[in-house]
Structure 1
Amino acid sequence: MRTSDAVSGTMAAALGAALIVASADLSPLPRQVYGAGTFPKVVGALLLLMGGLLVLKGLRQRQPWARWTSKVTGRAFVLALAAVVTSVIAYVVLTPLLGFPIVAVALLTLLFRAYHRRGWGRALLIAVIATTVIWMLFAQLLHVPLEAGLLERVLY
C-alpha cells in the first residue's frame, strides 16, 4: 500500500510536534547553552518542517490518500518483522560484549543483504559507511557514549 505524501507528511509533522512538546521540560545542563532537550527539539523542528513540505507536495499533486501497489505475502511480512525484532534484541545483548562498531556493522550487513539482495560486498560497504557516520555523529560530535567493546584500544 502506498500512502499520499500528505498523509505521510501529516504523520511526520505530528511526530515532530510531539517531540518538541515532550522535550520542552528537559532541563539544561549545568554551565551549558544547550541541554538534554536540544537535540529532540531540533529533530522535532526538522520533522515538523519537512512534514509540512510533504503535506504541501501531496495536496498539490492531488494524490489519493492510499492505494494498493502490490500484495505483500504474510510470510514476507513475518520474516521482515522477525528480522527487525531479532536485530534489536541482538543489538541489546551483544553490544556490551562486542561493542557498537562490530555489532552495528554485522547487523546492518545482514539487514541490507536480506532486504536488498544486492550482494554481500555492497551490503558490507554500506554497513561500514553507515556505522562510521553514526559513530562520528553520536560518539564524536554529540559525545553520546557508545560502547567500543573489543575495539576500545583501536579507537582510543
Structure 2
Amino acid sequence: MRTCDAVSGTIAAALGAALIVASADLSPLPRQVYGAGTFPKVVGALLLLMGGLLVIKGLRQRQAWVRWSSKVAGRPFLLALAAVVTSVVVYVVLTPLVGFPLVAVTLLTLLFRAYHRRGWGRALLIAVVATTAVWMLFAQLLHVPLEPGLLEQVLY
C-alpha cells in the first residue's frame, strides 16, 4: 500500500506536535540551559516542519490518498516484526547487566546481517560505527546516562 505524501505528512506533523506538547512539562537540568525536554522538542519540531513540507508536496501532486502497489508477503513481514520486537526486549533485559555498548553492537550486527545479507564484517563495522555515534551523541554530548556495563573500566 502506498499513501499520498499529504497523508504521510499529516501523520508526521501530528506526531511532531504531540511530541512537543508531551515534552513541554519536562524540567530542565540543574545549571544547564537545556533539559530532558530539549531533544524531544527538537525532534518534534523537525517532524512538524518536514511533515508540513510533505503535506504541501502531496497537495501539489494531487495523488490518490491511498493506492495498493503490491501484495506484502506475510511471512517475511512477521519475521521482521518479530526480530525488531525481540531486539527491543533483549535490549531492555540485557543492557543493565551487560551494558549498552556490547548489547547495541551485538543486536545491530544481527539485525543488519539479517536484513541486508552483505556479510558479517560489514554488519559488524556498521554496528560499531552506529553504536559509537549514539554513545557520543547521548552519553558525551547530551549527558544521558547509558549503562557501560562490562566495559566500564575501558570507557572510563
| Alignment-derived partner of residue 16 in structure 1 | 16
How far apart are residue 117 of structure 1 and its match? 2.0
Unaligned runs of 5+ in 1: none
Over residues 93-118 of structure 1, what are the superposed CA-to-partner deviations in whole Å (9 max), with x where a residue is unaligned?
11112111111011111111212222
| Alignment-derived partner of residue 123 in structure 2 | 123
How far apart are residue 16 of structure 1 and its match? 0.6
Unaligned runs of 5+ in 2: none
User: TM-score, with normalisation over the residues of structure 2?
Assistant: 0.92
Q: Secondary structure at the match of 1:30?
A: coil
In the aligned structure 2, how far is the partner of 1:22 from the partner of 1:62?
33
| Alignment-derived partner of residue 52 in structure 1 | 52
How far apart are residue 89 of structure 1 and its match? 0.8
Paired residues in the alignment total: 156
1:40-119 maps to which residues of 2 (within 5 A)? 40-119=40-119
| Alignment-derived partner of residue 39 in structure 1 | 39
CA RMSD of aligned residues (A): 1.4
In the aligned structure 1, how far is the partner of 2:30 from the partner of 2:149?
30
The one-letter amino acid of 2:94's match is L
Over residues 59-118 of structure 1, what are the superposed CA-to-partner deviations in whole Å (9 max), with x where a residue is unaligned?
222232222222222211211111011101110111112111111011111111212222
User: TM-score, with normalisation over the residues of structure 1?
Assistant: 0.92
In the aligned structure 2, how far is the partner of 1:14 from the partner of 1:46?
12
Instruction: Determine what percentage of the aligned residue pairs are the same residue.
Output: 88
